[in-house]
Amino acid sequence: MFQDESSSVTSSPLQVFSMMSLSPNLGSPYPWLRELKSEERGLYLIHLLLTCANHVATGSLENANIALEQISQLASPDGDTMQRMAAYFTEALADRILKAWPGLHKALNSTRITLVSEEVLVGKLFFEMFPFFKVAFVLTNQAIIEAMEGEKMVHIIDLNAAEPAQWIALIQALSARPEGPPHLRITGIHQQKEVLDQMAYRLTEEAEKLDIPFQFNPIVSKLENLDIEKLRVKTGEALAISSVLQLHSLLASDDELLRKKSPLASKNLNGIHLQRSLQMNQSTLGELLEKDVVNGYSPSPDSASSSPLSSTSSVKVDSFLNALWGLSPKLMVVTEQDSNHNGSTLMERLLESLYSYAALFDCLESTVSRASLERLKVEKMLFGEEIKNIIACEGAERKERHEKLEKWIQRLDLASFGNVPLSYYGLLQARRLLQGYNCDGYKMKEENGCVVICWQDRPLFSISAWRCRK
């Protein structure tokens, strides 16, 4: 049971109070719920969501159940923005409650089918319906082109090779270089072989069309289990790495365990964690670390532990970044969500994610019709799943650990990467792209050389470029 705070529960005054504070004139609950106007309903949903989350956090399941019941009267995946959001958030909260009964939870999820084709489709939908990926691709490509000026041999590593459009655009741009196209290699990493096959096919076709020497290397692997050797980075070639929404999952770790271990010196804690992780993931982290030691670059445990960030849980990501650093990339472009969904308590994460996903849902509401099946799919299979992960999961299971740009900057800086400001021309292209979407809500701002894409005022995604700093 994920009980963040041990507490005794005084349920009834709370219940009555929360009811009373909002609806003084109205008597018994259910009948009037249906008559609420959209805005009132929205506010009431927020209120209920917060109340429910409160109950879940304190372990008062009876009250949480009541709140869920009430929300179910109002929420709907087909309704307005707030109704849809409430539907997914309550599903996440319910999932969280259910995890207290692991047997029950597993049984209910055992027959779930996840079709690869559906996942791929949702990814494509996200690419089409929102400008975020497109802007990220434009900026990434422009940064790569600029960094690779004059290079004859270019090697690009894509940490999540799912969308060919990015590299097709790059191939086209490189072929139009004044000094002629370079010899291009792209290494794509993904968990599904079919996706990589499709990508290989599309990219090779495009390169042949433009007569560019090209090679695509697929690697079927989870990122955390990635074997650096497989990347086959050769000496003499200029390396660029593109990471789109991949690094945050590396922040996942067994926080509960770590927190309970010791509240004292983080060094100690890290030592223990390192040991445990070495034991647990011997084929991966262990190998990575060993290899790094062999290569002459030894990330001392101290450097990992002295990180001011959530030091204990960042070992995975730190070692990954160190491994990447060891490849001496000329450029690494990192796109990440720019929200803090990695708070240690449920309520923190709930509040932050309410705002972030409100922005995303609003964005869909403004650009796509309510009846659209595609919209429903994106909301359910993409956002809904992310929300479920943020709210219902803990520890190593909770992969959607989005963090703010400042934290990423710190982390990358600690890993000896130096920031490369995104160029004016890249920004111009990105802005033009956003304007082409003809939607007022999309905003783009530049902060310290990094770009943040916002919906209205809410920052959603950040893009930054880095080089290897010796």
Partner 1 sequence: MPVDLDNSSTASGEASVSSSGNQNPPPKSTTKKKRNLPGMPDPDAEVIALSPKTLLATNRFVCEICNKGFQRDQNLQLHRRGHNLPWKLRQRSSKEVKKRVYVCPEPSCVHHDPSRALGDLTGIKKHFCRKHGEKKWKCDKCSKKYAVQSDWKAHSKICGTREYKCDCGTLFSRRDSFITHRAFCDALAEESARAQTHPQPQNQNQAVANPSSESDPKVQAVDSSAPPAPAPTPAPAPASAPVQVSASAPAPAPTPAAPTLPQSTSVISSSVLPIRSSELPENPTPIVEEAPVPAPAPAGLNGSCSTSTSSGSNGGSRSSVFASLFASSTASTSLQPPQPPAFTDLIRAMGRPDRPADLAPSTSTEPISLCLSTNHGSSIFGTAGQERRQYAPPPQPAMSATALLQKAAQMGAAATNASLLRGFGIVSSSSSSEQQDSLQWGQRQVEPENASVPAGLGLGLPCDGSSGLKELMMGTPVFGPKQTTLDFLGLGMAAGGSPNGGLSALITSIGGGLDVAAAAAASFGGGDFTGKDIGRSS
Q: Are 349 and 341 in contact (CB under 8 A)?
A: yes
309: tokens are 């960030």
- What is d(CA 166, CA 333) in angstroms, rounded to the nearest whole number? 13
Residues 161-200 that bind partner 1 (CB under 8 A): none
Stretch binding partner 1 (CB under 8 A), from 77-85, 92-100, 107-115, 232-240? 77-85
Tokens representing 269?
A: 């804690």
**Which one-letter DSSP state was computed for residue 468?**
E
In the structure encoding, which two tokens stand for residue 314, read together? 């960042």
463 bridge partner residues: 335, 451
Which segment (39-47, 120-128, 267-275, 396-404) binds partner 1 by CB under 8 A?
39-47
Name residues contacting partner 1, limited to 330-349 (CB under 8 A).
Answer: 343-348
Q: Which of 27, 30, 31, 37 binds partner 1 (CB under 8 A)?
A: 37
CA distances from 368 to 231, 372, 374, 380, 459 (A): 40, 7, 9, 15, 20
Q: Residue 215 and residue 184: Cα distance in Å, rounded?
A: 6
Among 27, 296, 373, 440, binds partner 1 (CB under 8 A): 440
Amino acid code (one letter) for 335:
T
**Contacts of 64 by beta carbon, 8 Å cutoff, 6+ apart:** 52, 55, 56, 93, 97
The residue within the footprint of partner 1, chosen from 8, 110, 235, 369 (CB under 8 A), is 8
- In the complex, the smallest distance separating the C-beta of residue 344 from partner 1, rounded to whole angstroms, is 7
**Residue 221 is encoded by which pair of tokens?**
């692997």
Asked if 18 is part of the footprint of partner 1 (rule: CB under 8 A), the reply reads yes
3: tokens are 């009980």
Residue partners of 428: CB distance under 8 A and separation at least 6: none
- Find the binding residues for partner 1 in span 236-295 (CB under 8 A): 263
5 interacts with partner 1 by CB under 8 A: yes
Interface pick for partner 1 out of 10, 110, 111, 114 (rule CB under 8 A): 10
CB of 424 to partner 1, least distance (A): 5
Task: Build a one-symbol-per-residue string for 115-154: x at contacts with partner 1 by CB under 8 A, - elsewhere.
Answer: ------------------------------xx--------
Beta-strand relationship, 458-468 and 331-337 = antiparallel
**Cβ at position 10, least distance to partner 1 in Å:** 4
Count the residues in the chain: 470
**Which residue in 153, 223, 327, 358 binds partner 1 (CB under 8 A)?**
358
Using CB under 8 A as the binding rule, whether residue 47 contacts partner 1 is answered as yes
Q: Which residues bind partner 1 (CB under 8 A)?
A: 4-11, 13-14, 17-18, 21-25, 37-40, 42-43, 46-47, 50-51, 54, 57-58, 80-82, 85, 145-146, 263, 343-348, 351-352, 354-355, 358-359, 361-362, 365-366, 420-425, 431, 435, 440, 455-456, 458
